[in-house]
């Protein structure tokens, strides 16, 4: 039995696209509430919220305080996004805890969780690039350029999806493996960011 059957790339892509269509403010339900899917949902929700904050942070028609609020939200969502990636990897590796990689197994430097995160981001890029191809009042040149970029993004997503499916299939039978790489976001840690612990000691 394939321990990752429910996490085939097709299911992930369908979930990502459906949640984007529902909107960032919609309640983000996982495809199911099992281990990894709960964190797939959290990762995608934070990527979606992060995208919207990044767009707003580029405004030039609002007060600096509004941009500062966007920047703090970006920092918060990015931390939660990275936390979710690590939890995805923990959940996936728990499914194959009894599998011992073969001596010649492929060591994938990128984790499966990071690949799922990249699929989430590609879903957002595809959604927003497609919107540009339909944008009212856009020039023909703009639409053509965006259509070319959209085709490239679709190709990138297909390639990444195939690589994820291959990694999971091979990891399930010991022909490949990955390790969890902790992000250690030092700027968010008040004991490691000198601007935070310096202020705390004043």
Alpha carbon distance 178, 96 (integer Å): 11
Q: What is the pLDDT of residues 131-181, one digit of tens each?
A: 999 999 999 999 999 999 999 999 999 999 999 999 999 999 999 999 998
Q: What is the pLDDT of residue 24?
A: 67
Dihedral angle computed from the Cα positions of residues 187, 76, 123 and 8, in that order, rounded to the nearest 10 degrees: 80
Q: What angle do CA 108, 114, 115 make, to 5 degrees?
A: 75
CB 27 within 8 A of CB 55: no
Give which of 115, 124, 114 is closest to 49, Cα–Cα: 124
Domain containing 111 equals: 5-200
d(CA 79, CA 29): 20
Task: With a cut of 90, say whether residue 26 has pLDDT above it.
Answer: no
Please give the residue that has the higher pLDDT: either 31 or 44.
Answer: 44
Domain tally, the chain: 1
Identify the band that residue 189 occupies on the pLDDT scale cut at 50, 70 and 90.
confident
Model confidence band, residue 202 (pLDDT cutoffs 50, 70, 90): low
């Amino acid at each position: 039995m394939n321990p990752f059957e429910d996490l085939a790339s097709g299911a992930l892509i369908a979930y990502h696209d459906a949640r984007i269509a529902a909107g960032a403010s919609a309640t983000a339900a996982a495809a199911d509430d099992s281990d990894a899917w709960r964190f797939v949902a959290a990762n995608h929700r934070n990527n979606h919220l992060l995208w919207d904050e990044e767009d707003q942070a580029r405004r030039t028609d609002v007060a600096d305080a509004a941009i500062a609020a966007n920047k703090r939200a970006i920092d918060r969502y990015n931390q939660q996004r990275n936390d979710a990636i690590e939890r995805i990897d923990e959940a996936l590796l728990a499914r194959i805890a009894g599998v011992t990689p073969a001596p010649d197994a492929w060591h994938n430097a990128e984790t499966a969780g990071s690949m799922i995160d990249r699929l989430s981001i590609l879903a957002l890029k595809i959604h927003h690039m497609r919107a540009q191809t339909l944008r009212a009042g856009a020039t023909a040149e703009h639409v053509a350029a965006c259509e070319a970029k959209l085709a490239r993004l679709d190709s990138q997503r297909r390639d990444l999806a195939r690589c994820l499916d291959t990694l999971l299939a091979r990891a399930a039978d010991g022909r490949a493996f990955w390790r969890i790489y902790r992000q250690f976001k030092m700027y968010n840690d008040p004991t490691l960011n000198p601007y935070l612990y310096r202020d705390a000691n004043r």
